[in-house]
Chain A
Amino acid sequence: MTSLIDNQRPGRAGAIDDRPVDPMVPRPYRISRTRQDTRDTFTLELEPIDGPLLRYRAGQFTMLDAFGVGEVPISISGDPTRPGPLEHTIRDVGVVTHALIAAPTGAVLGVRGPFGTSWDVAAGEGKDVVFVAGGIGLAPLRPALMELLAHRDRYNRVVLLYGARTPEDILFGDELRTWAKDHGVIVEVTVDNGQHAWRGRVGLVTQLVPRAGFDPRNTLALVCGPETMMRYVAAALTDRGVPEHRVRLSMERNMKCGVGLCGHCQLRELFVCVDGPVLPYSRLAPLLSTREL
């Protein structure tokens, strides 16, 4: 099949169609590989069927579509500096995510995007950069870390604080070791519940912030995880003296369109899909302190 998107509108055969491309219509991508990362988390590699590889910035997301099942926003987890398949790391938590991770290699999924703001990790050049991840929140941060590692010498200390539920839930374990060993990243991992074999830290990732080795006055902090975790981490970072505008969070909200039209993702005046998902804590702090806003 050469083109899976048929843009020929009925009744307009032969006419030059100058109508804008509809941002609500997905483009077809083929699953080239599905890798199981943990017991409930999988990384999908997707290749476009009818066009060039997707260009995206670290922190952006796409709307992933399982045919006939539905569509969900998923952050891109691949390396934006190297051309290759589009990567998404997905936790099997709902009907659509289950359909996505259960689709066989070679199956076609729909992709819209990329959408949203980026981490803009380059703003941390000449500074310490602190990544704080909770659970699957490590996946949206991975593209920013890959971007940083492509120019590691431009940054000072690089710290990754990562909290997972259990040792079995730790994502990208091999890469964590590589980042620490080969790229001078200070990697600190903690788990909520450790079994006997776990010799690492047990506790909340928030508790790692006060002790981590970085200069708060000259730091860019990128945070992704459950909202409650991000709120406490952002408070811990600013308590240490990191300016609010240099603490960035990636927000999660219900999204039906990804392009600012459906209204679902609103957080007071923000459309999280187009104003975010990455937003400075200076804008979020007054909004996150109100319950159910």
Chain B
Amino acid sequence: MDPQTLSFLGLPALAWIAVLPLCGATINLLLGKRLSKSTVTFIAVGTVAAACVLSGVMVFWGLFQHGVDATGNMSPKALWEGEGITQVAWKWIEVGSFKADLAFHLDSLSAVMILIITFVGTWIHIYSVGYMAQDKGYSRYFGYLNLFTGAMLILVLAASLPVMFIGWEGVGLCSFLLIGFWYENDAYAYAGRKAFVVNRIGDFAFLLGTFLLFWAVKSLDFQDIKSLANGAKYATTAWGPNGSQVWGHERLAAAAGICLFIGACGKSAQLPLYIWLPDAMAGPTPVSALIHAATMVTAGIYMVCRLSFLYSVSTTAMIVISTVGLLTALVAAFIAFAQTDLKKVLAYSTVSQLGFMFVAAGTGHYAAAVFHLGTHAFFKACLFLGAGSVMHGMEHGGSKTPGDITTMGGLKKHMPVTRATFMISCLAIAGIFPFAGFFSKDAILGGAWSVAGAGAPPGWPPFYGYLLWGGLLVAALGTAFYMWRLYFLVFSGNERSEEAKHAHESPPSMLSALVVLAFFAVVIGFLGVPELEALHKIPHAFHALETWLAPSITHVWWVDAGIKPEMGHEPSDVVSIVLMVVALGIGSLGIGLAWMLYGRGPSPTVAKLVEGPLHGAWVASKNKLWVDEFYDATIIRPFKAACKGLFEIVDRFVIDTIAVNGAAFVVSLFGRLARWFQNGQVQRYLVGVVVGAAAVFFVTDCHRHPAVTVTLKNDQLHLHAEPGAGIVGSNAKLHWHLDGVPACDGDKTLPGEPADRDIRRGDATGSSIALCIDDAISHTMTPVTVRVPTEETP
């Protein structure tokens, strides 16, 4: 079996990975209401689990096969070390030079993604079985969830930008559907709309970037763009149309890259488009877990990593990405400090962690970005599902505001499993050894350090790496602090409400997912142990991720002169270890601070600080830095006002009044005219006949003048006049008069005879001669002046 051509029922195996959940979605959305709950569950969980198994087969079997070239020789490299597997499902668009196949591409990067998506997705599905058991929209929920997974799989498996855009829009749609899942609640429906609209802004920029790339490269296939961007061909050829120099490749890559990155900002919730993500908490909690861990928000990171060959060309785009990432990490961490809603804290935490990933991508450490994406997927999914479990318990305890952490406390007695998994995930996100977050965050911090000073890539300020590193360190401190504040407020101390006392542990389907995800939150980090000299003795599997990702990611900076420096210079062992210790210290410091202030419930110091020196900061954090209010005042209100103006002027006046009512008025006017005419009286109709006949006579001009032709040949004028065919004119007598003054004397022709006369041109006085017409009926003479031609008639 050749993995490159493996297909079932005429559809390639890679397509099946995405199609399986889509099939589940189709069945559940169309027939779900008629199916029993267990059938719905079986279809939903089954299709995603099957996609997971198929992904596993394609990755762990398919990518390890060796390709066969045209001559039948076995390639020495496994598929994952080369170009990966590309399968075309069918031809989609072919217009002129533009060609887009519905093609899927599996290489080491998309392999990581599909494993995360299907694996975490499967566990979120299983968890949802327990969480949504009582909901009346059970089948609709699972239909959407499957659709979400399928769309995300299309996104990551896409072999070209247009196909990626299908998935890109698909996850946008599903986020809208799932965030507004409980649409009876206005606020929830609004949150869904907000997510959709904000994403739309990003999607617009994504499309602009796509168009720009197509304009320059004439193809949107990743491999085509890559072959142009990578290698010698790229270094010497500008990317203008027909090889013109209009856009130097750095500028083009920067423009296209930044446009696409704005799209990523929308999906991956970066400044300034992150505002939808905290509101996305309106959806059911497993959806939040899915959005935050496996789908949607990882799309932007994945896209940037997928296009690493494009970004490696432009330091401008890279600086933009890392700056936006850093600012987002800091701002979101700051806002998370004072939130009192369990899921809101986690949401801002996600925004902040995504900022970390973008810094990693922006400094060229795509592997670190994907690494953090993977570890984050596990511990953040675990955190969200844990939060769901807590809220589930609080609801059963009778709480009406199950997400309010001020009413919790002491839950470790009531929910031991949830608490244990939550703690593991909190340790992971705080970056404590040996949990997953430690390794991935360390890879990002090390990456930021490696572009500082002498390692600065071409065009980067040398200090910028230090700035990124320092900023991330502050964000990491904040992360550890707010996550552990959350943990202590929820699980430690005494119960602060009656409901908390009656909370109880969740059902096994929910707990099983928590345990599995927590297990991976512990061990997954060991896929990316840093490559230190001292650690070379450990098995290679511990550095597996970076090696694995290397073939699908561009590791060098491409600059105009064709210089290809490695991205960042790896710090020495000593520096690495110092960096790790610093990061570990920062994480522990954050946890320690949180324990001091919240270890046994909110301590009096907290109240003192909030009232005293930190009051301003606390209010700002509590109000989310007034970003929503700012957007409302600067964008939404002016936009609404403009819409209202346009509505009044264009819609109400131009379209309604002038176009629609105007047309109706004209029609009714003619109608009234016709009604007067069509009155059934034969005499009214006769008027029409008479008027019509008169018009015909008028137009055809009965009293036609004679036809006159004057030709000039060899200086001889030939005058010819013939009586017209009209009733009167045809019987006229004619006479040519040459004296210049029109007078009708002399011989006339007989009635109806033509008049001919030849003269020398000089004999015509002045420039005109006259024709006299003797009307046979009225016997009056009508002189007609005829112009004499000045040029010879051919």
User: Is the pairing of A and B real?
Assistant: no
